[in-house]
Chain A
Amino acid sequence: MKYFKFLIAFCFISVLFSCGGDDDICDSGEGTPRMKFSFLTEASGKERTVDSLFVAVDYGSGKVQLGAQTNITSRVVPLRVDNSPYTDVYFKVRTNGAESKVRVNYTTKSSYVSPGCGIKINYENLNSVLDPTTTTPVKSIEAGQNFIENENKTNLYLLF
């Protein structure tokens, strides 16, 4: 029975391995990329720092507030991943201020990533429209890179 200790030890070690288990974790950057918005001054066309920006997105069941960020030159916003061909994004610069609505139209392409992340969506043929009745605070928009593959390049410029 001199092997017995070895046997038991091996069993316990194997159990450890088996608990290394399901990778349910999706590392950021591997999943569906977000859309990047940058800011310009309308008068000069120059890059601009926004002192505070409130973003809300309609994910299909009403507006979801994504909160405020201060002193930023760009902001990334996750879009819808369901079969909707557009996402409505709302911007305001003051808590109780006026709100601009931008509808981002796109086509989607899905590809498999990993067990944890499942499938990610790449957005193509971006075409954003600023609701003409809501031109405060965003006065107009300017298209950037018209597809979303990662979060490095600006996809839409907001002019204040």
Chain B
Amino acid sequence: MSLLSFAQKDEKAKKEKWKYEPNFMVGFDVLNTGASFFSDRKMYQGFISSKVKGDLHGIIEAGFESNVYQKNSYDAKVNGPFLKLGVFYMLAKDPENEFNGFYSGGKLAGSFYTQEYFAVPVRGFGGSSSSVAFPSSTQSSYWIEATLGGRVQLFDTNFYIDVNLQPRYLGYTTKQDDIQPMIIPGFGRSSSKFNMGFAWNLAYKF
């Protein structure tokens, strides 16, 4: 009993010692936004991150994507917002500025979107193929995502460049008439469960 209470006391002491200093970094993905002007994929995403304790940072990402899938006789359109919550750990950092460095972490993500399948193929023989259309519906998908990236301060300003890779694995998705979604906003092409995303952010530290 005494040991237990001692442990609790110890924990309390630790908690008291740790003081959260408000700090925020807000970033916006410039590269995907730029690419939106030249393709059917319109992708806007940004993040807010904050150093929680030591080398541990918390991050919230939000975005909106509208996209089409026109391949292998499929014709689909999706659009909707997505949200990601996660943490990352600074693996290596600049001794002069703790926000400069490389990091790695994980996120949970969800997307809530509208999809419309104009054509799902029926594979036939000898030029006899047809397709079935499905009406617009609202679906949601959830996935886990790793984050691997780096941050670097732009000269002596409060601006940072944050570049990261996002390998992701689709966990769960709602389906319309059992049809595996071919594309999911925020996730990308989803005929297979693995996918890779990236972000090239311009961030400002408050």
| Interface residues, chain A, with chain B CB atoms under 8 Å away | 1-4, 7, 10-11, 14-15, 17-18, 20-24, 26, 31-32, 57, 59-61, 64, 66, 78, 80-83, 110, 112, 114-121
Contacts and interface: CB of A to CB of B under 8 A. Distances in A.
A82 B194 CA distance: 33
A34 to B, nearest CB: 8
B122 A59 contact: no
A88 B21 CA distance: 78
A142 to B, nearest CB: 25
Interface residues of B, number: 36
Given A10-B148, A14-B165, A14-B167, A59 B195 contact: no
Contacts of A83: 130
B127 A61 contact: yes
B123 A59 contact: no
A81 B124 CA distance: 6
Contacts, number: 108
Interface string B110-121: 000000000011
A-side binding surface: helix, strand, loop or mixed? loop
B42 interface: no
Given A3-B91, A14-B165, A59-B125, A118 B191 contact: no
Contact of A119 (B120, B148, B194): B120
Interface stretch (B9-17, B30-38, B66-74, B154-162): B66-74
B126 A64 contact: yes
A17 to B, nearest CB: 4
